[in-house]
């Protein structure tokens, strides 16, 4: 199909467009009605209970008619912008042609599998499709168990891998469950240099944390370790980027121990970090890679990809689900992969990310409460602290800055003292600059309230 490649262009001077103080009356009413039945909203929603009505490209419009600059992409999902015309057209075709036929093959599913296998790194050609990132993580773990006949997994402090029992057991926040982690799951200190769990300094540390991980696997494992599961950039923990050499050292360690490296790229995949896959930054090929979020630009469609030598093992773990790989999901996935190529999305993400991180670093120099700026491509964040020396987390400031910037028209993502930014990868720099102005004004206002200026 052909479409106007400038479909998402906006006049930055007209945005954001906040017509009524937000959350406005209609948002409040809808939220209150929904909340009567549904509990457990994210802190993002609790701190700013707006109700959205529509999204187009790089903007979101709420139920009161206010239009925001989107610095969230849902939650790292709509990488190509809301309602990308090609993605919409592909999905629409199958909403009237064939919505579901269990796990039978369809032409669109075959085309999507072929396309995905052609762009995954190395020989990650074995694919199964699911509907949620969590489900794909679970399936990836099942695949790792089937490949190794072992069942123990190590993941990392600060990781988030989903909310079913196995996936949540690999996740730092145990508060999503009301009981112990699944047996055989272990959490290890990670290479978060700003808050090094070993209080060491990179690069002098020689990436000691991976030596410690190896020791932990040898001491805590019972000889049944299937693999290590990691996020190549930690999203929930505040866009934590690992130092160069860390991911590579884990790869070497896995090879040395004969265990699998499972990389959870649910959040980082499909150009989000300025490369097609985050592992491309490190020249590393995992044994299993989990994909989600940006894979189909908003339509539920996730997958794992596994090395060719393990493909036959997949026969042991049935791929059939009610919805995985359904024609609409396959169409959305295929359209998204095509758009990434046709619109040079990888390069655009890298360029936009560079622009934003340069501005954030400038902000850090002139604001006492910005402790660290983090990012890879368009997966970005800042951490607010009470004091740059002690690095004491400034959670109240994080919440307030989030709310103030949102009220001025920037839809973004909080995580306590960490403020996360994830613009659609198609955003132009002038609009990103406006969002960053608003964020800086909000930081300055909070600093003033707490007596920092």
Chain residues binding ligand PLP by CB under 6 A are 132-134, 137, 160-162, 231, 235, 264, 266-267, 292
* CB closer to ligand PLP out of 262 and 410: 262
Beta bridge partners of 230: 263
* CB closer to ligand PLP out of 233 and 401: 233
Beta bridge partners of 414: 419
State the nearest-atom distance from the C-beta of 9 to ligand PLP, in Å: 29
State the nearest-atom distance from the C-beta of 162 to ligand PLP, in Å: 4
Beta bridge partners of 303: 129, 291
* CB closer to ligand PLP out of 66 and 166: 166
* CB closer to ligand PLP out of 221 and 292: 292
Tokens standing for residue 203: 């690069």
Calpha distance 153→151 (Å, rounded): 7
Calpha distance 44→422 (Å, rounded): 14
* CB closer to ligand PLP out of 141 and 438: 141
State the nearest-atom distance from the C-beta of 262 to ligand PLP, in Å: 11
State the nearest-atom distance from the C-beta of 453 to ligand PLP, in Å: 35
State the nearest-atom distance from the C-beta of 97 to ligand PLP, in Å: 26
Calpha distance 332→329 (Å, rounded): 5
Residue nearest to ligand PLP (CB): 133
* CB closer to ligand PLP out of 168 and 385: 168
Tokens standing for residue 276: 């097609």
State the nearest-atom distance from the C-beta of 204 to ligand PLP, in Å: 30
State the nearest-atom distance from the C-beta of 363 to ligand PLP, in Å: 25
State the nearest-atom distance from the C-beta of 266 to ligand PLP, in Å: 4
Tokens standing for residue 374: 């983090």
State the nearest-atom distance from the C-beta of 173 to ligand PLP, in Å: 12
* CB closer to ligand PLP out of 160 and 406: 160
* CB closer to ligand PLP out of 27 and 155: 155
User: Where does residue 286 rank: exposed (0-12), middle (13-18), buried (19+ CB within 10 A)?
Assistant: buried
* CB closer to ligand PLP out of 264 and 287: 264
């Amino acid at each position: 199909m052909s479409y106007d490649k400038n479909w998402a262009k906006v006049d930055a001077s007209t945005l954001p467009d906040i017509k009524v103080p937000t959350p406005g009356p209609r948002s409040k009413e809808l939220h209150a009605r929904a909340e009567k039945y549904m509990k457990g909203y994210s802190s993002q929603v609790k701190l700013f209970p707006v109700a959205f009505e529509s999204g187009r490209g790089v903007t979101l419009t709420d139920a009161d008619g206010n239009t925001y600059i989107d610095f969230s992409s849902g939650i790292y999902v709509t990488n190509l912008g809301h309602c990308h015309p090609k993605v919409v057209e592909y999905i629409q075709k199958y909403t009237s042609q064939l919505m579901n036929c269990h796990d039978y093959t369809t032409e669109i599913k075959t085309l999507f599998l072929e396309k995905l296998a052609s762009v995954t790194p190395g020989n990650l050609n074995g694919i199964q499709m699911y509907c949620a990132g969590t489900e794909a993580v679970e399936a990836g773990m099942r695949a790792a168990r089937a490949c190794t006949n072992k069942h123990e997994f190590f993941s990392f402090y600060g990781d988030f891998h989903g909310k079913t029992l196995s996936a949540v057991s690999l996740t730092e926040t145990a508060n999503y469950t009301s009981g112990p982690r699944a047996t055989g799951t272990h959490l290890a200190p990670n290479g978060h240099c700003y808050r090094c769990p070993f209080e060491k300094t990179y690069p002098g540390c020689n990436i000691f944390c991976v030596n410690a991980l190896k020791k932990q696997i040898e001491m805590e494992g019972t000889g049944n370790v299937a693999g290590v599961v990691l996020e190549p950039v930690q999203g929930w923990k505040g866009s934590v980027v690992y130092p160069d050499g860390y991911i590579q050292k884990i790869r070497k360690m896995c090879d040395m121990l004969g265990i699998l490296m499972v990389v959870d790229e649910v959040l980082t995949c499909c150009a989000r970090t300025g490369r097609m896959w985050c592992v491309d930054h490190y020249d590393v090929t995992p044994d299993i890679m989990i994909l989600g979020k940006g894979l189909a630009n908003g339509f539920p469609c996730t997958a794992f990809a596994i090395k060719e030598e393990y493909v036959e093992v997949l026969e042991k773990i049935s791929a059939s689900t009610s919805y995985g790989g359904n024609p609409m999901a396959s169409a959305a996935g295929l359209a998204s992969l095509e758009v990434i190529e046709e619109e040079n999305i990888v390069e655009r993400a890298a360029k936009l990310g560079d622009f934003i991180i340069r501005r954030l670093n400038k902000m850090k120099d002139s604001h006492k409460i910005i402790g660290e700026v983090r990012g890879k491509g368009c997966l970005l964040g800042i951490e607010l602290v009470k004091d740059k020396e002690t690095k004491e987390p400034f959670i109240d400031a994080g919440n307030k800055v989030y709310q103030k910037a949102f009220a001025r028209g920037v839809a973004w993502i909080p995580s306590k003292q960490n403020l996360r930014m994830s613009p659609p990868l198609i955003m132009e720099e002038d609009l990103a600059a406006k969002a960053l102005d608003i964020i800086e004004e909000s930081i300055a206002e909070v600093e003033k309230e707490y007596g920092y200026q």
